[in-house]
Amino acid sequence: MAWKEIFQVAIITEGLGPLLYFTLQNLDVVQTLPNEIHAELLKGYHNSLAYNIFLHNKFDEVLQELSNKGIKAMVYKGVALARTVYPRLELRRVSDMDILVLETDFEVISNMLKSQGFRVTDESPDDLLKAKSYKKTFVRAGMLLPISIDVHADIRYMGSSESDGTITNAQRFWGNALPWCTDAPNLFIMSPEDSILNLIAHQLFENNREPISLYCDIGFLVKQHGETINWRYVADLANSVPAGDLIVAALKRILKALYFEMPSELSDEYQEEVHSGLSSVSVDSFLRKNARLVHATLFEDFKAQRGLRNKAIFTFRYFFPSATYIKQAYRIRSHSMLVIGFFYVRRLFVIPLGAIFLACRAIAHYITVQVRHSWNKA
């Protein structure tokens, strides 16, 4: 067996060394490994254990402070998965903690973390009109390692629901949230259904990849909650957000690769009906290049504006947002107006092309669905 190649992928590329060691140990084959590989896996396992215990203790201090102040917070992704679905804490690598908070508490929590020695290292404004920040990354130097916390007021990379534009991702996540523990009534974790969609969307549209670690996360989630997961909700929600076909396609690949029984709600017949008329290759390519810069729900937001005057103001602000937004969205460090102006000009070309693409996609989808319905009636 090519253990060196497996070692390279599992530890260096994917960070799955502890999980690999734990699995091989449970299968009682760890002693058959080459001595060098065995020593490295064992060392990585112990390092992960110490690293995760250290970070989780620090994260618990922050969560306890939030609980004491009566502030609602939802823990999701790495920390929540390590605590709730993985067999042991050290098997899920974490580098930071992601928490979702109410928008009204966003600044309160920011000030609380700053008072504890955290500093803001990244602020991502996802609102193209007002350069409003929905995420802040806080870092504090630790005795051994830096402690990093991502605070979110909303999770925007999934887009908004086409079926009901008044429901944001955050509102939907809060509506389905599960209690974190009995002694902290203000702390929650994301529901399995929302976690599945969020994990896949995050990797596809934020990190532009589909890593093995994603397969592990989804696998342990389904193993833990498989009998209670509402797959109809998963399928319907994925169908209502931009590029939902990509999310469902990735989910089906993961379930198939892990030999899970395919839920009937995700069957080929269902997917073919609700996602017809979409080219996964072209949509995937488009989103990978423009996910951070092109507002996928532009048309829905435009329709929501009442009157020609408001629509004109909306369009102008969309193409010419504040300089603060331009600097943060394009990660510009220069204060030169010449540099900032270049990115304004660039937007004038990139945004229309993106809008045209999305419009053509919507038209193709509409025509295909109408033809399919007419064919079925005939």
How far is Cα 267 from Cα 259, in angstroms, rounded to an integer?
15
CB 79 within 8 A of CB 189: no
Both structure tokens of 169: 């991702």
133-140 and 147-152 beta bridge pairing: antiparallel
Instruction: For the full predicted model, state whether its pTM sits above 0.85.
Output: no
Q: Is 208 left (phi over 0), alpha (psi -120 to 50) or beta?
A: left
Over residues 227-262, the pLDDT tens digits come to: 899 999 888 887 776 567 778 888 998 999 999 988
Question: What local confidence, expressed as pLDDT, does residue 220 receive?
Answer: 95
How far is Cα 37 from Cα 67, in angstroms, rounded to an integer?
43
pLDDT in tens, the chain (378 residues): 577 777 777 776 778 889 988 988 888 888 888 888 888 888 888 888 888 898 899 899 999 999 888 899 999 999 999 999 999 998 998 888 999 999 888 888 988 999 988 988 765 544 444 444 567 888 887 666 788 998 988 876 555 444 444 456 788 889 999 998 878 889 999 999 999 988 988 887 666 677 889 999 999 999 999 889 999 988 888 777 656 777 888 899 899 999 998 888 887 534 443 333 334 444 445 444 444 334 445 555 566 677 788 778 777 777 777 676 676 666 676 777 777 778 778 777 776 776 666 567 666 766 777 777 777 766
CB 197 within 8 A of CB 121: no
Q: Where are the domains of the chain?
A: 208-275, 288-377
Over residues 278-313, the pLDDT tens digits come to: 344 444 454 444 443 344 455 555 666 777 887 787
How far is Cα 96 from Cα 77, in angstroms, rounded to an integer?
10
The 8-class DSSP code of residue 142 comes to -
φ and ψ of 39, to 5 deg: -65, -40
Both structure tokens of 131: 């350069």
Question: What local confidence, expressed as pLDDT, does residue 361 receive?
Answer: 65
β-bridge mates for residue 97, sequence order: 149
CB 278 within 8 A of CB 365: yes
Cα 132 to Cα 112, 125, 180, 328, distances in angstroms = 20, 5, 29, 11
Question: What local confidence, expressed as pLDDT, does residue 122 receive?
Answer: 60
Tokens 């299968």 -> residue: 27
How far is Cα 212 from Cα 217, in angstroms, rounded to an integer?
9
